[in-house]
Amino acid sequence: MDVSALIQAIRIDPLWVAAPALLVALSAIWLAVRLRTRLHVLEERLRELRHDRQQTDTAILALHGAIKAVAEDVIDQSQHQSSVRRALDRLADQQSELRLRDVDEGLYVQAIELIRLGRGRGEVRKLCGLTQAEVDLLFSLHGASVAREHSSVSR
Q: Which residues contact 134 (CB under 8 A, 6 or more apart)?
A: 108, 111
Alpha-carbon gap, residue 72 to 61, rounded angstroms: 17
> For 30-49, how does the pLDDT look when each residue is reduced to its tens digit (9 = 90+)?
999 999 999 999 999 999 99
Under the banding of pLDDT at 50, 70 and 90, the label for residue 106 is confident
> Which residue range(s) make up the domain with 149?
105-155
Q: Residue 140 falls within a domain, yes or no?
A: yes
Collapse the DSSP code of 44 into the 3-class scheme (helix H, G, I; strand E, B; otherwise coil) and give the result.
Answer: helix
Q: Residue 142 falls within a domain, yes or no?
A: yes
The answer to whether the beta carbons of residues 127 and 141 sit under 8 Å apart is no
Domain count, the chain: 1
Alpha-carbon gap, residue 62 to 72, rounded angstroms: 15
> For 69-100, how does the pLDDT look when each residue is reduced to its tens digit (9 = 90+)?
999 999 999 999 999 999 999 998 888 777 66
* Mean pLDDT (the chain, rounded): 87
Alpha-carbon gap, residue 73 to 33, rounded angstroms: 60
Q: Residue 131 falls within a domain, yes or no?
A: yes
**The overall pTM is greater than 0.75:** no
